[in-house]
Amino acid sequence: LILGGELKRKEKLSGRLADALSNMYLITAVLKHYEDQGSKSDDLPLLEWACEDSLYNVQEALKSVMRNFPVPFVGGLLNMVIFPLTKPYGGANDKLGHKIARLLLSPSAVRDRLTHDIYVTEDPDDAVGRLEHALKKVIEAEDAERKFRDAIRIGLVTSQDYDSAVEEAIQQSIIDQNEADKILSAHEATLNAISVDEFSPKGWKPQ
């Protein structure tokens, strides 16, 4: 009512309002998806994170609109009406973020529902597959890796070379051969997942 058609020409202002609207739309989409998936309690952390993040974005967008409103008095009045005391939303906290990370880093029905219709493969020759393959191998070696790391930490295994350290752990009966194979397989898969192209310095010299 105050700005009328001028709102279209206030591009930053209208952009912030669009940010608020799009995040409100995301919240409704997430709630609808959660309901369509059967409102499973295991999915609740994902729902909470998405809603808290979007609500925070809505809040910040509206706050920015009111701070930059062309008529300061009206901006201040709107702020008092919409946010009378303080900012009610602080975004998703780290504790919730850690809970989400644990869900994503372990095979589960939650992860399967989240990645439904998303291209996923365990082919180690595929870029995405390398990550999935490494995740699977790391999870398989988790218990053996914990024993191996503990032995290194307290000084039972002292070899600096990784393969030699694993062999030393076998010799000291800290792990058996089967566990060693899992550790080495996980290590190889991890290195393959994080490796990048290497180029000789000679390749950068002018021809």
Question: Does residue 76 sit in the same domain as residue 161?
Answer: no
Domain that holds residue 31: 7-112
Question: So what's the pLDDT on residue 64?
Answer: 85
Q: Is position 78 within any domain? A: yes
Question: So what's the pLDDT on residue 1?
Answer: 44
Structure-block tokens of residue 41: 């309690």
Question: Does residue 11 sit in the same domain as residue 90?
Answer: yes
Q: Is position 11 within any domain? A: yes
- Whether residue 45 is predicted with pLDDT greater than 90 in this model: the reply is yes
Question: Within a 10 A sphere around the Cβ of 154, how many other Cβ atoms?
Answer: 8
Question: Does residue 99 sit in the same domain as residue 175?
Answer: no
Domain boundary among 85, 112, 139: 112
Q: Is position 178 within any domain? A: yes
Q: Is position 77 within any domain? A: yes
Tell me the C-alpha to C-alpha distance, in Å, between residue 91 and each of 12, 48, 104, 166.
23, 10, 20, 44
Q: Which pLDDT tens digit goes with each residue over 141-190?
A: 999 999 999 999 999 999 999 999 999 999 999 999 999 999 999 999 99
Judge contact between 20 and 56, C-beta under 8 A: no
Question: Does residue 28 sit in the same domain as residue 102?
Answer: yes
